[in-house]
A = this chain, B = another copy of it.
Amino acid sequence: MDWNGNLRPFVSRPETSFSFLYNYNQYPGIEMKHDPVEVPAYHAVVPAMEKNSYGNQMEKKKRLATNQLESLENSFQEEIKLNPERKMKLARELGLQPRQVATWFQNRRARWKAKQLEHLYDALKKEFEDVSREKQKLQEEVLSLKVMLSEQVAKKPIYAGYAKISSEETVESTSERSNKARGTGHHQIGESSYVFNVDDYGKVMPPYWLGVMPSYP
């Protein structure tokens, strides 16, 4: 009820504002919290004209009832879009204005899309981690191969030149330059414009932001 809720003393707790960790909850499926009470087809019949306007108690009804939400959700799962027939049918069954059904679907699609981004992010994050690990492995492999090769070469002076070069550029993790090793040599991809950290031993670490996503600075 607060309305211009300002006449209150205030103290707020300004600083340290950025510290809450975000939670994570739902998944693609259905979600709900507390039920706004059962609601049969009641409003449907009522033109819904006068009530409200404060002071009355009869309405406060934002929030659709759980049974209505369930039906809408089920319907949404079947088909993300709404055709006129379905809309009217749902409206009739649930006692809602067709307009409300349409609105619900629009909002639901928007939520779905936002959620989609989250999932995409998680999936990408996983991919990234996998590839990073693989890259790590490959670096190690390259290193050991070069060692072997140079050992080989040590016995066959003919390839000394190669061995030298390779050991030189191996250690640094910013792989790349691989083609140089192959002989063609160019591709100065410049200094890796990317962010992730690599320690002195060539270990690849995921970017710092992979762990903490939300929560603003």
Show the binding face of A for B, using Cβ within 8 Å: 2-6, 8, 10-15, 17, 43, 46-50, 52-55, 59, 61-62, 80-81, 83-84, 87-88, 91, 97-100, 102, 109, 112-114, 116-118, 120-121, 123-128, 130-135, 137-142, 144-146, 148-149, 152-153, 155-156, 159, 162, 166, 170, 173-176, 178-179, 181-182, 192-196, 204, 207, 209-210, 213-214, 216
Contacts and interface: CB of A to CB of B under 8 A. Distances in A.
A88 B100 CA distance: 36
B207 A124 contact: yes
A3 B95 CA distance: 12
B137 A10 contact: no
A116 B124 CA distance: 16
Contact of A6 (B54, B91, B114): B91
B3 A59 contact: yes
Nearest to A62: B3
Contacts of A121: 117, 120-121, 124
Contacts of A207: 123-124, 127
